[in-house]
Structure 1
Amino acid sequence: MEVTLAKREPLVHSNDEAAIHFEETFKSNVKALHAYAYTILREDGAAEEIVQNVFLKLWENRKRMAIHTSLKAYLYKSVYHESLNYLKHLQVRRKYMEEAMANLRQQVPDEAPDEELQRQLGEALSQLPEKCRTVFQMSRFEDFKYQEIADKLGISLKTVEAHMGKALKLLRLRLADFLPLLIVLFWR
């Protein structure tokens, strides 16, 4: 089934005509649809993504669908529903993060989660080999670039990269329980 306009003018005549008509439709509607999505979402990047998704679905389904209203009305309705779905998804993510934080607080009732994270980080760092720990601390706590670390320690850039890879792997394993907290801390 072809996508059709209200007057039953086929949107797809041939591949070239379809692409030309689609491009014209996109260019003539994208700014207004983006503005509409932005009024719902109040987030520029999300609004842009929503509009792109609507046009992508339109293109992918162009041969299987029929539009019984005007194409413009269909696009606005699609943007509206995609925006609502996006907001619902954000609510689910927020609820998950709140539950994860509550679970983390229950696991560590006597200490604040960030204090426990600091303690666990200190323990994990103490288990690293000395050079590996030094490289990690210079990179993450003292903001040295890899080349600067290599120069200061008299080792190769590849060795610095290897030490960082080893440190990050161990820390990921040791701090896996704190992942929700880390996400919340860096997400704010």
Structure 2
Amino acid sequence: MEIKEHTQELFLFAEMKQGKEYAFDFFFNYYYPGLCVYAQNMFSLPEEETKNMVQDVFLKFWNDRRKIVITTSVRSYLFVSVKNRSLDYLKKKKRQGTKVEFEGKDFSEEAIDTYVLSELETLFKESLDKLPARCREVFELSRFEGLKNRDIAKQLDISEKTVENQMTKALKILKLELKDYLPLLILFETFHFLK
């Protein structure tokens, strides 16, 4: 995490500790999707159970805000909280006789980042597959190959206006498909070409 981003996060956390709801809303909107993806896939938890668990983590985060001390980052704190909550859930299931597998998994911050990024890339590819063929072709030539509109128009034998229309359509569809994950996409800055 960059120093500037870390400083902003600490400022928002200080604001939240004073009861400023906008700061809590920021953390919730920014991290909720990724925490759900992480818990659901890393621990093979049911979707509904995952959502409830992550919401409970945020509820506790808000209720205990005055006594929470964060030494790393809010992001790390939330991911570790969800990890611990998930492991508690799995241990409870194991005691009840349900077979669970979670031993041997890497829960370091780097592993969490890699995992969440991998999930986001999969979601992005699935969303890209939903674009109409010409729309996808124009998007990929523009964003992946870095071609200008006039070069795309020439290569595909279409007008520049058609290229602009197809790009607008592609971005609109992708942003709609990925709307729940946009804060995470921005966080990882991997999908800057959606701008």
Bin of the TM-score, shorter chain as denominator length:
0.3 to 0.5
Structure with larger Rg? 1
TM-score by length of 2: 0.44
Could you state the TM-score of these two structures normalised by the residue count of structure 1?
A: 0.46
